[in-house]
Chains A and B, each alone.
Chain A
Amino acid sequence: MDISSGILFQTIINGIMLGSIYAMVALGLALIYGILEIPNFAHGTLYMLGAYIAYQLIISLGFPYWAALFCSAAVLFLIGMLIERIAFRPLYTQPMINSFIVAVGLILILENGVQAVWGPAFKRFPGASSSVFHLLNITITAQRVIVIVTAVVLIIALHFFIRHTRLGSAIEATSQNRKGAQLMGINVSMMGGLTFGLGTALAAVAACLVAPVLLIYPTMGGPVIAMAFVIIILGGMGSFLGAVVGGYIIGLAETLFACYVTTDYVEALIFGILVLVLSVKPTGLFGKGH
């Protein structure tokens, strides 16, 4: 394989890895949006918090990687449920703008809280495996493969959970028709809390998976949440399939743009994609329409 196609192949692998992360974060955001109809601007900061909790468990308490990932997901699940209960649930009957503002308040609290505890500097922790594969003339680290495989397994498991279990069907029903679900005896408030927890835990898993490849820092959620929102708008707000497909499209677009055009203006490109979607087809690829 010659060098240029080697670079292309490597870029595509990186794009798929980034897409896996985006798909997980966007999926969590889409689930929460589907049930509660609030765009949770604090989702990116919760993603960041997940990485820091795993960091603390691995570095200070000597947890093995997978145990730390699991514990971080569990902690963020509880934090997500708590946030939904305390910060968002009392506002459901109020104008939407109030929920948005509360989410902004949560970003300030969490981002600066993490900065106060762990400091603003970049941190990193080791992944599940540090081995490296050589394939022809390209190199792939094992952690990247782990990110991709774990994401695919989790996404399929989540799809199975929503389609083929009673609890998952209840969540799906609530997102399709809240009143109807309530009339069928589903506890919609509990579904809201559970979904918020689930979506947040998913973001934590994504952050723990990617942290050994990239670095962690208190403002790492900012660019990711922007991408995640563009993804769920591209995919169609609240659509499961849309979040996954959109995640991989944006992940690949970002790495290809960064490799062949410039790394400086990736965020502007993403906003360009958003404007394009809003101008051409605001309901997104898999949206149900207004």
Chain B
Amino acid sequence: MAATPWGKRIFLILVTAFVLVAPLIITGKYHQHIMVMCGIWVIASLALNLIMGYTGQLNLAHGSFFGIGAYATALLVQNLGFSFWVALPLGCAITAVFGYLTGLPTLRTKGHYFPIATMCLGIAIYYVIARWEGLTGGAKGLFGLPRPDPISLPFDVTITFKSTIACYYLVLFFVFVTIILISRLVKSLAGKRLIAVRGNEDLAQSLGINTMQVKVISFTISTLFAGLAGGLFAAYMGTLMAEQAHYLLSFEMLINVVIGGIGTMAGPILGGILLPILGEILQSLAGFRLILYGLLLVLCIHFLHTGIVGGLRAAVMRRRRRREAL
């Protein structure tokens, strides 16, 4: 593995420093709220990129797994009285088990079956959540969910999560955890296997890679992190609607990944930050926003199918080559 170049290292340190002090600079409550949401979308988009970008399997039910994580965490807190800190990992585990169980039959076959099956799954999960009134509150949704319980530290220090800033740091912590775990996974030998499956599944299989196992593991991990994003969303927002499991949500996450740069680490991070901000700016356009997103998606695939990050990389490469040629 090549060592990270110094320029990139300094850039990463500067970015990390900025996101750590950002809520001290950007003090508006509305802006801080958007920053928390961006963090949640970054986690969800990174998770989607693992199965879609690195393993090459388009999951059109990612938003529904986000919804399952959100509802599972919320219901464990509300109905069973669990602490958030127990409910969140349990919620992730429930989502991952669900992902594993749906991955087994749907990833068995190659090619087109997985995106088709996940699209059907996404629609099914949405309608089940919207209609199972006894459990999920149906169309009314769930409301009045508490924020995470305070953490008591030694020396009488307690961290509470009443303020938006505290939630920002909570989400940021999980963003870092997600980035570190997923980037380590992708750079490891297991990550190379994922990429081999994406490149040519038959070839990977002939080289002795258990492609089915690789796909199922990648999908399970991906749904685990989708559940994490969902659980954080539930605790932060305090209300949940069936829309939080809708297939439109899956599409929005897909857009984050594609526009940011599919199959790169920086792409979903960039997309997960830029597109929600763009969404807020375009809020007055209502439905036209999604028409615009659809157009962006089509144009991006046709003319810049590696997204912003891929486009930037290509530009840097061109410049370097030109400099070498001189």
Which of chain B's residues 97-153 have a Cβ closer than 8 Å to chain A?
102, 105-106, 108-113, 115-117, 119-121, 123-124, 127-128, 131-132
Q: Size of chain B's interface in residues, with CB distance under 8 A?
A: 42
Is B12 interfacial (CB 8 A cutoff)? no
Task: Provide a sorted-by-A list of 8 A–B residue pairs whose CB atoms are within 8 angstroms.
Answer: A37-B112, A96-B112, A106-B298, A112-B290, A222-B247, A271-B120, A279-B105, A282-B113
A109 touches B288 (CB 8 A): no
A278 touches B113 (CB 8 A): yes
A267 touches B128 (CB 8 A): yes
Is A168 interfacial (CB 8 A cutoff)? no
Q: Given A105-B297, A105-B301, A108-B291, do A278 and B109 touch, yes or no (CB 8 Å)? A: yes
Q: Report Cα–Cα, A95/B116, bound state, in Å.
A: 16
Is B94 interfacial (CB 8 A cutoff)? no
Which A residue's beta carbon lies closest to that of B138?
Answer: A264
Is A237 interfacial (CB 8 A cutoff)? yes
Contact with B along A88-103 (1 / 0, CB 8 A): 0011001111101110
Q: Report Cα–Cα, A108/B102, bound state, in Å.
A: 26
A-chain residues with CB within 8 Å of residue B25 when the two chains form the complex: none
B128 touches A265 (CB 8 A): yes
A100 touches B58 (CB 8 A): yes
Q: Report Cα–Cα, A113/B292, bound state, in Å.
A: 10
Closest 10 CB pairs of A and B: A108-B294, A105-B297, A109-B294, A105-B298, A271-B124, A112-B290, A267-B124, A264-B131, A267-B127, A226-B120
Q: Report Cα–Cα, A265/B121, bound state, in Å.
A: 12
Which B residue's beta carbon lies closest to that of A275?
Answer: B105
Is A39 interfacial (CB 8 A cutoff)? yes
Is B293 interfacial (CB 8 A cutoff)? yes
A-chain residues with CB within 8 Å of residue B258 when the two chains form the complex: 101
A109 touches B295 (CB 8 A): yes
Q: Report Cα–Cα, A112/B251, bound state, in Å.
A: 13
Is B254 interfacial (CB 8 A cutoff)? yes
Which of chain A's residues 231-279 have a Cβ closer than 8 Å to chain B?
233, 237, 264-268, 270-271, 274-275, 278-279
Q: Report Cα–Cα, A113/B60, bound state, in Å.
A: 21
Q: Given A96-B111, A116-B288, A279-B105, do A229 and B116 touch, yes or no (CB 8 Å)? A: yes
Q: Report Cα–Cα, A270/B251, bound state, in Å.
A: 22
Which of chain A's residues 67-121 have a Cβ closer than 8 Å to chain B?
87, 90-91, 94-98, 100-102, 104-113, 115-116
Q: Report Cα–Cα, A90/B105, bound state, in Å.
A: 32
Given A39-B112, A223-B123, A278-B105; 11 other pairs, CB 8 A cutoff: A41-B60, A91-B301, A94-B305, A96-B111, A97-B52, A97-B58, A100-B58, A105-B298, A105-B301, A108-B251, A265-B127
